[in-house]
């Protein structure tokens, strides 16, 4: 067992993996990063709700043993100058597997692009998972927001986000341009900035397989591969091809492709089969608005997923309460998807919904379905009864505005 300088590990059981399956005892040790700005407010609210749900669901038989780890401003305060992401934070997540975090300030200067990106890279959290569904009562810009209920798996490590870029006018840009123009008969314009978009079979297949595993274990009906392969044939187009390849090779008995449905099954998905289909990215933005209920689990390369997850969250009015997680085969980091909103720090004012629903994803990951259901139902009830924080209250008529902590207590009260 690793020794830590500042992290205090409480009495409890380590979460482990056996044959690829997560093993969770009754008192699992789960790590948390409080976060900066509004982080402490929303974390306290989240802890109240998650502990309340677990206690109610299992009559005190199960209980999470929380262990604090540090990143962001609190890490600097705890470990010293420039210690925005201490090595033992990463080590603790590697060892204890499951963590939840509030938003973090992005340090200015000091060579760190973003703490979130650094965490994803160091832990190889290759999938960004975003469930998007409607909570009745939430102000939404569309007529039937309830039709959308998708879980988006976005590849996290490749694509134009791999960070291979050359600035206009630099030696690197000139050399890359000259190499491509001379050897591949292209005509990249002078002074172009250049970005490289790598998408690999390895990166694609592990992402698509995670999406399929999720769909199968959660009785979902389809997995849609979203790509722009009509234009970018050897990156986005290959993402589609490799995605189908993984589905057919590794899940042959459990899946059917859209082509097979038409060629062999008269246009009807055979009973009990998971449908694998694909859509071109621009069409997908129309589809989630016009035929939202035809989509279920969605797998995308990095950039498509970035755009699509925010568009989908906005459609259900949930940008401010959208949950998320970054995952590898073993480590999982659940997180609020908004920032630190520094002007509201310490005011007990903001909506803790994003972190609470990320906590719901975490309970689901632990296999604690009863507690998951309790939080979801109670949160729905609370929003429907219009007891909400300022951000929702300003868009609803007849709402009662409450503080962050009161909103959490109201959710626990509604678990009855
Ligand atoms: P932000 O913190 O997300 O805040 C922008 C606005 O969004 C807020 O002023 C507020 O709108 C609304 N908002 C955010 N969280 C809310 C909540 N829980 N409840 C209600 N409303 C909420 O974005 P930012 O101001 O661009 O970024 C601030 C800092 O956060 C930066 O350092 C940035 O790098 C960091 N950041 C961190 C993460 C992360 O750790 N995952 C993500 C994004 C940004 P109103 O003013 O209209 O009420």
Nearest atom (ligand 1) to Cα of 105: 32
Nearest atom (ligand 1) to Cα of 38: 18
Q: Which pLDDT belongs to residue 275?
A: 98
How far is residue 399's CA from residue 245's CA, in Å, rounded to a whole number? 50
Is 313 in a helix, a strand, or coil? Answer: helix
How far is residue 123's CA from residue 125's CA, in Å, rounded to a whole number? 5
Give Cα 306 distance to the centre of its chain: 10
Q: Which residue has the CA at smallest separation from atom 5 of ligand 1?
A: 341
How far is residue 328's CA from residue 151's CA, in Å, rounded to a whole number? 16
Nearest atom (ligand 1) to Cα of 341: 2
Residues linked to residue 324 through DSSP beta bridges, in sequence order: 335
Q: Which pLDDT belongs to residue 111?
A: 65
Comparing C-alpha atoms, which of 37, 174, 128 is closest to residue 323?
128
391 Cβ inside 6 Å of ligand 1: yes
How far is residue 285's CA from residue 302's CA, in Å, rounded to a whole number? 16
Q: Which residue has the CA at smallest separation from atom 3 of ligand 1?
A: 339
How far is residue 386's CA from residue 370's CA, in Å, rounded to a whole number? 25
How far is residue 285's CA from residue 242's CA, in Å, rounded to a whole number? 22
Q: Which residue has the CA at smallest separation from atom 43 of ligand 1?
A: 339
How far is residue 326's CA from residue 142's CA, in Å, rounded to a whole number? 28
| Token pair for 362 | 């975490």
Instruction: Give distance in angstroms: CA of 104 to centre of ligand 1.
Output: 10
Nearest atom (ligand 1) to Cα of 104: 40
Give catalytic residue positions.
161, 228, 282, 306
Top mutation candidate among 317, 340, 394, 396 for ligand 1, by most atoms within 8 Å of CB: 340
The per-residue DSSP string of 109-175 comes to STT-S-HHHHHHHHHT--EEEEEEE--TTS--SSS-GGG-EEEEEEE-SSGGGG--EE-TTSHHHHH
Comparing C-alpha atoms, which of 398, 347, 361 is closest to residue 45?
347
| Token pair for 28 | 């699992």
Q: Which pLDDT belongs to residue 126?
A: 98
Sort 90 into a burial class: Cβ within 10 Å, 0-12 / 13-18 / 19+.
Answer: middle
372 Cβ inside 6 Å of ligand 1: no
350 Cβ inside 6 Å of ligand 1: yes
Top mutation candidate among 323, 339, 389, 394 for ligand 1, by most atoms within 8 Å of CB: 339
| pTM of this structure | 0.94
340 Cβ inside 6 Å of ligand 1: yes
Comparing C-alpha atoms, which of 134, 81, 55, 72 is closest to residue 107?
72
Comparing C-alpha atoms, which of 85, 96, 82 is closest to residue 119?
85
Is 406 in a helix, a strand, or coil? Answer: helix
378 Cβ inside 6 Å of ligand 1: no
Instruction: Give distance in angstroms: CA of 152 to centre of ligand 1.
Output: 22
**Residue that has been written with the tokens 């207590």 in this structure:** 409
341 Cβ inside 6 Å of ligand 1: yes
The separation between the first and the last C-alpha atoms of the chain, rounded to the nearest angstrom, is: 40
Comparing C-alpha atoms, which of 262, 373, 384, 355 is closest to residue 48?
355
How far is residue 114's CA from residue 120's CA, in Å, rounded to a whole number? 10
Pairing state between β 400-401 and 387-388 = parallel
Q: Which residues, in sequence order, are CB contacts of 405 under 8 Å at separation 6+?
A: 41, 44, 45, 48, 348
Q: Which residue has the CA at smallest separation from atom 40 of ligand 1?
A: 103
Q: Which pLDDT belongs to residue 320?
A: 82
Q: Which pLDDT belongs to residue 117?
A: 85
Sort 382 into a burial class: Cβ within 10 Å, 0-12 / 13-18 / 19+.
Answer: buried
Comparing C-alpha atoms, which of 365, 303, 371 is closest to residue 334?
365
**Mean pLDDT for each consecutive 10-residue tract of the chain (416 residues)?**
89 95 97 97 98 97 98 95 94 97 84 82 96 91 96 95 92 96 95 96 98 97 97 97 98 98 97 98 97 98 95 90 95 95 96 97 97 96 95 92 98 94
Q: Which pLDDT belongs to residue 319?
A: 81
Other beta carbons within 10 angstroms of residue 143's beta carbon come to 7
Give Cα 278 distance to the centre of its chain: 21
Comparing C-alpha atoms, which of 92, 114, 162 is closest to residue 333?
92
104 Cβ inside 6 Å of ligand 1: yes
Top mutation candidate among 103, 139, 402 for ligand 1, by most atoms within 8 Å of CB: 103
* Inter-residue contact 155 to 305 (CB < 8 Å): yes
């Amino acid at each position: 067992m690793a020794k830590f300088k500042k992290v205090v590990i409480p009495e409890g059981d380590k979460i482990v993996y056996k044959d690829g399956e997560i093993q969770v005892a009754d008192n699992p040790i789960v790590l948390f990063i409080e976060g900066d700005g509004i982080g402490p407010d929303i974390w306290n609210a989240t802890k109240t709700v998650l502990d309340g749900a677990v206690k109610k669901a299992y009559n005190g038989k199960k209980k999470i043993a929380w262990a604090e780890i540090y990143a962001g401003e609190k890490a600097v305060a705890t470990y010293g100058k420039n210690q925005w992401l201490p090595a033992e934070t990463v080590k603790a997540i590697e060892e204890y597997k499951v963590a939840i975090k509030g938003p973090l300030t992005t340090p200015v200067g000091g060579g760190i692009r973003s703490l979130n990106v650094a965490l994803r890279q160091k832990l190889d959290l290759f999938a960004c998972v975003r469930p998007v569904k409607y909570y009745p009562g939430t102000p939404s810009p569309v007529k039937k927001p309830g039709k959308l209920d998708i879980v988006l798996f976005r590849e996290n490590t490749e694509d134009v986000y791999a960070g291979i870029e050359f600035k206009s006018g630099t030696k690197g840009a000139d050399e890359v341009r000259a190499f491509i123009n001379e050897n591949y008969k292209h005509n990249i314009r002078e002074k172009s900035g250049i970005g490289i978009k790598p998408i690999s079979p390895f990166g694609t297949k592990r992402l698509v397989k995670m999406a399929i595993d999720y769909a199968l274990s959660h009785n979902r009906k389809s997995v849609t591969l979203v790509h722009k392969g009509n234009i970018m044939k050897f990156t986005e187009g290959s993402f589609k091809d490799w995605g189908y390849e993984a589905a057919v090779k590794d899940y042959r008995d459990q899946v059917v492709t859209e082509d097979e449905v038409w060629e062999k099954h008269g246009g009807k998905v055979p009973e009990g089969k998971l449908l694998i289909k694909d859509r071109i990215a621009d069409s997908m933005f129309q589809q989630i608005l016009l035929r939202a209920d035809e989509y279920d689990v969605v797998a995308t390369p990095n950039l498509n997923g970035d755009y699509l997850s925010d568009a989908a969250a906005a459609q259900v009015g949930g940008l401010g309460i959208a949950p998320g997680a970054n995952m590898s085969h073993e480590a999982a980091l659940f997180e609020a998807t908004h920032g630190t909103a520094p002007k509201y720090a310490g005011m007990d004012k903001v909506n803790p919904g994003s972190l609470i629903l990320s906590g719901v994803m975490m309970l689901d990951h632990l296999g604690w379905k009863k507690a998951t259901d309790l939080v979801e139902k109670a949160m729905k009830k609370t929003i429907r009864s219009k007891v909400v924080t300022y951000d929702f209250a300003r868009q609803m008529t007849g709402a009662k505005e409450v503080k962050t902590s009161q909103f959490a207590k109201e959710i626990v009260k509604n678990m009855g």
